[in-house]
Structure 1
Amino acid sequence: MNEQLKEKIDLLVKNLEARNRSERLLILGVVLVTAVLGYLTFSFDPLRAEIGSLRSQVSVVGSQIAAQQRASAAMLETSQQDPNRFANDRLAVLAREQAVLDEEINNLAGNLVTPDEMTAILTTVLGRFTGLELQNFSNLPAKVLREDFTADNVTV
């Protein structure tokens, strides 16, 4: 087979040598253009397409890495915060509300007299004035101080 190839190449060389110089240059130009186009078609274009594909993959992976870094930074920041922050904030709000309610209760109850104090006051008043005497003593239920107050509003 090697000899057949050599014979064909020798025949091709003889045919080329038989042509004049301008025809040989034209044939050489056609062969070169065909070789360059063959290289571009079969080698260069697929490589360029593969390079473009790989660049897009690198871009996608880069954006994924950036997203993971942002998520990691957010998780790190969250881990450094107080895990009970929400509960502590709510507790502080409730403590402020309780302080306000305690102050309102103290303002309302400041003018009230307990039954023991009332007994002492009545005993003192009756002891000072000789014409006064206790006719009746009874423990009545408490009267409503506010009109919008009902027993349903009471929570214990």
Structure 2
Amino acid sequence: MKKQIRQLLILVTSLILLNTIMWSDFTNSANTSNKGANHERFASSSDRVVSIPGQLSSESNVVFTIDGGKGLVASFKEENGCDGRSVYSFDTLTGQVIDKLDTLNSNLSGVTPTRLTISSNDVLVISAKSNIPDQVDFIIVPINPDGSFAENNKVNSSFRVPLTEDE
């Protein structure tokens, strides 16, 4: 029950943050209406294999930039077997890794990315599990047109989510 409550709180907070980002981009929605045409050119490249360092989980989700040209995924385990802390961007046509974001380089105390969400203006929201008890973390970072992470515009936030023992 405790785990389900934590997951629900992470989901709700993530949706609130994503909604805020999407509404802030609402005035620019006319600029993105023509980008949908690019999806067609990527539809025939489904036979590409992307080799991500480390290990993925069946619970790992993949998100794509608005033009479909870049994908983003978080690792479940690092290459050395430690808990995953990396988010990778990759080219959907070639399958090549473009960039890596290390969530441990943030101001937060050891976070493990659990869920990715992306806005219509290519801003990535990373929900993360913290090493600190009763805390959830979020990393919000724009994706540059080349698929790299705009780390100079990255925002980290933590929320204390106290949980009580089930009675």
Q: TM-score, normalised by structure 2?
A: 0.18
Instruction: Decide which structure has the larger Cα Rg and report it.
Output: 1
Higher relative contact order structure (alpha carbons within 8 Å, sequence separation ≥ 6): 2
Greater helix fraction, Structure 1 or Structure 2: 1
Greater strand fraction, Structure 1 or Structure 2: 2
Q: TM-score, normalised by structure 1?
A: 0.19
